[in-house]
Every structure is written in structure tokens, then in C-alpha cells.
Amino acid sequence: MTTQIEKLPAKTYKLTITIPQEDVNSAFQIALTTLTSQIKIDGFRPGMVPTNLVEDKIDQGKINGEVVNILVPSAVSGAIKEHHLNPIVSPKTTLKQLEKSKDCVIETTIIEYPEITLGNYKEAISLLSSSNKTNGTNTTNKTNSSSDITKPLLETTTIEISQSLVEEEVSRMFMQLMNQTAKMGITIDDYLRSINKSLDQIKDDYKKSAEENLKLEFILNEIAKKENIVITDTEIQAAINASPDANAKKELSKEENKWYIRSVLLKNKVLGELSKIGGGTQ
């Protein structure tokens, strides 16, 4: 296996992986052997059908899918280790070439944790708070709201987000919109007419929002590391116990869901600490 790596902006890398034809042929043979056990042909016992007959009976796309499952995960994992990369999301892989007796070529995009340079966010938040009080927009000693804090955080931090991450977030937001409109019994077109916006305008809005939200997530995580703000297992369990629904508690208690609870609690905890700046509590 050979790999070529191309460095893209925002800690993004494109890997071109070439798997030799010997490995490809071996994977095809394994795939056919696996699929043979699933094929029934009159005159043959299960699992004893000749592979040439199996190839005729099974759709080529199904065979290719089995071959991809055999080759791609280990190839991508090996390439990541070879180049000492640390992806923060699942690699996005595209199959460029897959034929028997030919090299298999795949491209995969790897996104690492972005480079972040925090500015003097405390001073910026404090100045904003002082300005609000001077202008009469914050006449009490209450702490700053989260919306007051996000702007100076974004303005004082240097961070570049991978466009692949932004696109994925936009897709997630658009899918959420489709689900919401479906529940309301209206189409996307009906919704767009009701808010007097085009689909392109919505996507532009989502792109801006997605980029800001992603930046903020990384910034808050970086501040948490700098300020030694952590979430304990006790806090996570308390959040789970606070759910009034038994089924929700069971779902939230799963290990694969606890990371989400931790991230939400951490975000709120950091914002809570930052909201005290300039509010007379620091």
C-alpha cells in the first residue's frame, strides 16, 4: 500500500491511498467466499456453489461493497498511523477505482483539531460589560448573558475551521429543518415562502451560523483547558438523574451518549465562568 498526502487549509489533509492489485484480488476472493454462503442454487449444497456461478447470480455492486468493507477501513487506519494524523471526526472516504486485477485507489479527507490562538478574551468581555453599563444597556450588576460573551470570544480568537466540518454542520441543520417542516405538515417551499427567503439564502444563513457555532465550540473547549475547567462524572450523573423520563435516563446513561452530556455541561460551565467577568463577581 502506498499513500500520498496533501495538506489543505484548516488542519485538513487529503490522503490518496493505493492498494496493490494482489490485495484487491484477495479481497474479491474473500468477498465471493463470504457471499457464497448466502446463495442458494438448485443442485448445490449451501456454501458449495462455485464462485463463477456466484458472480453471475450476485449484483456486482454487492460484491464491490463487500470488497470495500474488507479493504478500506484497514487501509485508511494504516495511512492515518503512517502519517501520524489525529482525526477529530470520521474520515470522509471516496472510492476512485475498484476493479479486479487492478490497484484500488481511494481518497480520504482527514480533519485534525484546529489551531487556536486565544486573545485577551477576559479584557474584551470586561470592556463590553463596561460599555453596556455606560450605554445603559446593562444597568444592574447581573452577569453578562451568553450572547454578550460570544461576540468578543469570536473577535479575539484566531481560528480557521475546515470547510468540510462546516458543510457537515449545514447538512445537519438542513436535515433538522426538513424534519421540523414535515412534523408541521408543510413543505420546505411553503416554509421558505412564509419567511420570504430562498433556499440559497437559508443555506447562506446556515453556513454563517454553522461556522460561528463550530468556532465557539472549539474556543470554549480551549478556554476550558486553559482555565482547568472540567466536568466530573458526578456532574454527568446528576444531569442524567435530572431527566424526568425513565427512557431518556436509560438512553443518556449509555457510554456513547455521555460524551455529549459532558460537552454540553462543559460549554455551559465555561460560559458561566466567563459571564462573571465584569459582572462584579470576579
Structural domain including 195 reads 117-275
What the block records as the C-alpha cell of 70 is: 474488507
Does pLDDT of 132 surpass 70? no
C-alpha to C-alpha distance for 91 and 247, rounded to whole angstroms: 32
Q: Which residues pair with 109 in a beta bridge?
A: 14, 92
Please tell me whether residues 214 and 153 are part of one structural domain. yes
Please tell me whether residues 24 and 156 are part of one structural domain. no
Angle at 173 between CA 125 and CA 274, to 5 degrees: 15
At residue 37 the predicted structure's pLDDT band, cuts being 50, 70 and 90, is: confident
Domain boundary among 54, 89, 111: 111
C-alpha to C-alpha distance for 173 and 188, rounded to whole angstroms: 13
What does the pLDDT look like over 5-16, one tens digit per residue?
999 999 999 999
Looking at residue 282, its pLDDT comes to: 40
Please tell me whether residues 74 and 100 are part of one structural domain. yes
Please tell me whether residues 140 and 250 are part of one structural domain. yes
What does the pLDDT look like over 223-235, one tens digit per residue?
999 999 999 999 9
Does pLDDT of 79 surpass 50? yes
Do the Cβ atoms of 98 and 253 come closer than 8 Å?
A: no
Looking at residue 142, its pLDDT comes to: 45
Looking at residue 38, its pLDDT comes to: 72
Nearest alpha carbon to residue 214 among 152, 153, 165: 165
CA distances from 99 to 46, 149, 171 (A): 27, 55, 32
CB under 8 Å to 160, separation ≥6 — which residues?
9, 10, 11, 114, 115
CB under 8 Å to 94, separation ≥6 — which residues?
106, 107, 108
User: Residue holding cell 424526568?
Assistant: 244
At residue 135 the predicted structure's pLDDT band, cuts being 50, 70 and 90, is: low
Domain boundary among 111, 135, 165: 111
C-alpha to C-alpha distance for 237 and 276, rounded to whole angstroms: 26
Domain boundary among 111, 131, 149: 111
Looking at residue 146, its pLDDT comes to: 64
